[in-house]
Amino acid sequence: MNGLPNTIVKLMVRNHSGAMSHITGLFSRRGFNLEGILCAPVEGGADSVMYLLVRNDERLEQIVKQVQKLYDVKSVSVQDDLDHTVFNRIEQLLNEP
């Protein structure tokens, strides 16, 4: 871990209408913090890549383990080295009048 307050968890997810509910539902039900989500279809729409901005604390390991158990999640990785600015740029976009 790099000591930053937030880190990014990257998921490869089966792309169907219920997948997002499964993931966001897991975060709310287990009381995990979720600061931001970026999601886009890949593989011709069969899968989605999801970037989750989460707090980099002692619960991160548990988040990864629980997300891994979801049927629609094909892979999980913590992207310590990933630039958070992608989320910052979205924030800017959202704050534009």
Binding stretches for another protein (CB under 8 A): 18, 21-22, 25-26, 29, 61-62, 65-66, 68-71
Min separation Cβ 7 and another protein, Å: 18
Min separation Cβ 6 and another protein, Å: 22
29 or 44: CB nearest another protein: 29
| Helix (H/G/I), strand (E/B), else coil: 77 | strand
- C-alpha torsion 68→71→73→74, nearest 10: 90
Dist. CA 8–CA 56, nearest whole Å = 9
